[in-house]
Amino acid sequence: MRITTTVNGAVHEVDDVWPGESLLYMLRERMGLPGSKNACEQGECGSCTVYLDGEPVCSCLVAAGQAIGREVTTVEGLATEGQLHPVQEAFLECGAVQCGFCTPGLLVAAHDLLARVPDPSDLEIREALAGNLCRCTGYEKILDAVRSAARRQAEA
């Protein structure tokens, strides 16, 4: 099937999509956007998190066809004009990235949290990131990064 959808502000049209494939597969394998990661394909790890019409979802659990005519934003769409988003800068500076596999999903989830809750409590951060697993950092640096990004955002 043919699928037309807006990804990171640009209209993408792809052919020969298998109707049972996921939005994640389509992004990575057909649209040249490998930022979103595939780690579990069952909604458990959050490394495939993207925005679908402004809401963070596991793209491995969205059928490609369900994204027809929708707006998708991936980790590749967070930076603007070559300038990293404050959440991305904070992750780098706080050491919240080790192997980096979980990072794209965590960035989208953290980006969404800070857009809704500019000054989140630790509990709110933990709850917002509960669907994102990291096997390297032990999460403390990730919490640091989100707190730091919130401060940056407040100062900006």
Partner 1 sequence: MDFLQPTSWTDALAARAERPDAVAIAGGTDVMVDLNFDRRRPGALLDLGRVPELREWAAEDGWVRLGAGVPYSRIIEELAIQLPGLAMASRTVGSPQIRIRATVGGNLGSASPAGDAHPPLLAAGAVVEVQSAARGARRIPAEEFYTGVKRNALAPDELIAAVLVPTAAGPQQFCKVGTRNAMVIAVSAFACALHPDRKTVGTGIGSAAPTPRRAPDAEDFLAGELQAAGLWDSRGRLPEELARAFGERVAAAASPIDDVRGSAAYRRHSLSVMARRAVTWAWNDLREAA
Ligand X SMILES: Cc1cc2nc3c(=O)[nH]c(=O)nc-3n(C[C@H](O)[C@H](O)[C@H](O)COP(=O)(O)OP(=O)(O)OC[C@H]3O[C@@H](n4cnc5c(N)ncnc54)[C@H](O)[C@@H]3O)c2cc1C
Query: What residues make contact with partner 1 under the rule CB under 8 A?
Result: 1, 18-20, 22, 41-44, 46, 49, 55-58, 60-63, 65-66, 68, 109, 127-128, 130-132
Phi, psi angle pair for 145, to nearest 5°? -65, -40
| Residue 27 near residue 36 (C-beta atoms within 8 A) | yes
Instruction: Report in angstroms the alpha-carbon separations of 13 from 1, 23, 24, 90.
Output: 11, 13, 15, 34
Determine which residue in the list 4, 9, 18, 43 makes contact with ligand X, applying CB under 6 A. Answer: 43
Asked if 60 interacts with ligand FES (CB under 6 A), we say: yes
Is-contact 83 120, C-beta < 8 A? no
Q: Which of 46, 56, 104, 120 binds ligand FES (CB under 6 A)?
A: 46
Region of 24-32, 41-49, 72-80, 85-93 interacting with ligand X (CB under 6 A): 41-49
The answer to the question of residue 83 lying near ligand X (CB under 6 A) is no
The listed partner (ligand FES, ligand X, partner 1, none) that binds 55, CB under 5 to 8 Å by sort, is partner 1
Using rule CB under 6 A, residue 42 touches ligand X: yes
Query: For residue 50, what is the enclosing H or E element?
Result: strand 49-52
3-class DSSP assignment, residue 39: coil
Give the residue with the Cβ less far from ligand X, 63 or 84. 63
Q: Are 51 and 73 in contact (CB under 8 A)?
A: yes
Contact 132, 110 (CB under 8 A): no
Work out whether 19 is an interface residue with ligand X (CB under 6 A).
no
